[in-house]
Amino acid sequence: MKVGSMLRAKVALLLVGVAMVLGACLKTDEFPEEPIIGFKEFKTFGDSAALTITFTDGDGDIGLGQGDTLPPFDTMPFVFNLFVEYEELQNGVWVPFTGFTFPFLHQRVPLITPTGQNKTLEGEITYRFTDWPTIPNTPWDTVRYTVKLVDRALHESNTVRTDEIILP
């Protein structure tokens, strides 16, 4: 083997070694174990609408499976894990809607736990309103929604609000 070829082989081996060391040092994203959410957007589509939030979770325990029906997931409030509240702007003050006793806007986000060693999660959840506006014939023309997410360990996220929504 010539000296030039040996030198190139050593440099290539050194570069491969450096790449392996640097690759091993790459950090995975680190998030707190309680979910953190952010408001992304609210879109209307005639008689339906969609509210999208972003989320992160450090231990990857977002969502409920179909079999999650034992305590604490068998009674209110933890039958649900996505809590959506409706508010109306009444005479300049935001007022939570209390016309129904059943939390008709709450939902169960399905299980989305990642596989592998890195359990951190980051993504978006879109909540679809099949009936829009939510409260038909309300005397108020401006509404908003507040949203909170709860993981399987019952860690509650922060609460986010949509922007003001002017009803059609």
Domain borders along the chain are: 36-166
- Say which residue the tokens 């040996």 belong to: 6
Per-position b or e across 23-43, b if 16+ CB within 10 A of its CB:
eeeeeeeebeebbbbebeebe
Beta bridge partners of 83: 148
Q: Is 77 exposed, middle or buried (0-12, 13-18, 19+ CB in 10 A)?
A: exposed
Distance separating alpha carbons of residues 71 and 18, to the nearest angstrom: 51
pLDDT greater than 70 at residue 10: no
Task: Sort strands 142-149 and 160-161 into parallel, antiparallel or unpaired.
Answer: antiparallel
Q: Are the beta carbons of 157 and 32 closer than 8 angstroms?
A: no
Region 36-166: CATH code:
2.60.40
pLDDT greater than 70 at residue 22: no
pLDDT band at 37 (very low <50, low <70, confident <90, very high): very high
Helix (H) or strand (E) run with residue 66 in it: none
pLDDT number for residue 56: 93
Work out the mean pLDDT of the chain and round it to a whole number.
Answer: 82
Distance separating alpha carbons of residues 165 and 145, to the nearest angstrom: 9
Q: What is the pLDDT of residues 109-130, one digit of tens each?
A: 998 877 777 778 899 999 998 8
